[in-house]
Amino acid sequence: MNDTADVAPAVRSILAAARDRDGGSERLSVDARSLPHAFAAAESEGRIPVIAEVKPTSPTTEGTREDDPVELARQMVDGGAAALSVLTEPDHFGGSAENLRKIREAVDVPVLRKDFVVREDQLDVVESDVILLIARFVDDLSGLLEAAEARDFQALVEVHDGEELSEAIEAGASIIGVNNRDLAKLEVDLATFESVAPAVPEDVTLIAESGVTTPKDARRMRDAGADGLLVGSAIMDGDVQMNTEKFVNAETNE
């Protein structure tokens, strides 16, 4: 773990920046909105549980979206998103803790903090309902998971293969995301989720991350066992509300 020799240069640069970034000065205690409940509510209304991501830019996206992030977030919720993901990484994704703070205040759905947290004090930068922990980039996954849960964050543990999945399960993760994007090559392959998902225990909330670009992709991930989908670029590109609706209704509009 934390071995960056075999990751893409862009990812290496992201990680170097992450290690240098300050943490918070005071230990947080979060009053978290439940992600599993938000998913269940969406399902019961016939919507695919979608976590829509406010991602102004990324190393694999051209250009930066300059719209007000709070306005984008509202449109995602109006489009039926069960939850939101907000990038807080400033150097490569155009994110900020301030964006997250404002968005979480403006909506009532759970909000995931998307960042590269590598140390416990970095959990204390800003409150969110869910926090991302990337198995591959964290030295002591169970320690960091415990630290997150001690602050009452829900943790989404991101994995990319069977080995990382075992580690996540062993650490006690109850929300797991399979990232279809290979951080070594930055390439996306939806077959990644299909190959990892069968080994995920029933009681885990399972999320398919990255590379969902069409309603067909959404159905493919659901057929492979995804409880929810994390969609960024395909929602950020164009009319955010309409794009969200397209994924949320992918099973009813077949």
Ligand X SMILES: O=P(O)(O)OC[C@@H](O)[C@@H](O)c1c[nH]c2ccccc12
Residue numbers of the site for ligand X (CB under 6 A)?
53, 55, 114, 158, 179, 209-212, 230-234
251 is catalytic: no
158 is catalytic: yes
Q: Which is nearer to ligand X, 27 or 185 (CB)?
A: 185
| Distance, CA of 170 to CA of 191 (rounded, Å) | 24
Q: What is the DSSP string of 124-190?
A: GSS--SEEEEEGGG-S-HHHHHHHHHHTT-EEEEEESSHHHHHHHHHHT-SEEEEE-EETTTTEE-T
98 is catalytic: no
Q: Closest separation between CB of residue 132 and ligand X, Å? A: 6
Catalytic residue among 58, 85, 89, 114: 114
Q: Which is nearer to ligand X, 42 or 221 (CB)?
A: 221
Catalytic residue among 55, 58, 167, 246: 55
Q: Closest separation between CB of residue 110 and ligand X, Å? A: 16
Q: Closest separation between CB of residue 231 and ligand X, Å? A: 5
216 is catalytic: no
Calculate the CA dihedral of residues 136, 237, 93, 50 and round it to 10 degrees. Answer: -40
254 is catalytic: no
Catalytic center residues: 53, 55, 114, 158, 179, 209-210
